[in-house]
């Protein structure tokens, strides 16, 4: 969604991919509590293929396709 894209790009501009993935996989981690919630990504599930898709989007944000 456009919300996911905006939040994803916020993380891309403010931090590292490893932090984004860590927050995505462990939203209750106190170390990342100052960062915005990634709850809108809950429907993505946790799978290696998803991490690969996110890494590709991180490297090539112009390939992100917004679907509502």
Give the global pTM.
0.84
Q: Tell me the per-residue pLDDT of 4-57, one tens digit each, with 9 for 90 and over.
A: 999 999 999 999 999 999 998 888 888 888 999 988 887 776 666 788 889 999
pLDDT for the residue 36: 94
Q: Name the pLDDT band for 62 (thresholds 50, 70, 90).
A: very high
Q: Which two tokens stand for residue 6?
A: 């905006």
Q: Which two tokens stand for residue 5?
A: 């894209």
Residues in the chain: 68
Q: Which residues contact 27 (CB under 8 A, 6 or more apart)?
A: 37, 38, 39
Cα-Cα-Cα-Cα dihedral sign, residues 38, 39, 41, 47: positive
């Amino acid at each position: 969604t456009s919300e996911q894209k905006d939040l994803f790009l916020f993380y891309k501009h403010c931090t590292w991919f490893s932090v984004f993935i860590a927050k995505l996989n462990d939203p209750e981690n106190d170390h990342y509590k100052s960062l915005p919630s990634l709850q809108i990504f809950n429907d993505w599930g946790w799978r290696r293929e998803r991490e690969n898709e996110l890494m590709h989007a991180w490297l090539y944000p112009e390939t992100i396709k917004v679907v509502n």
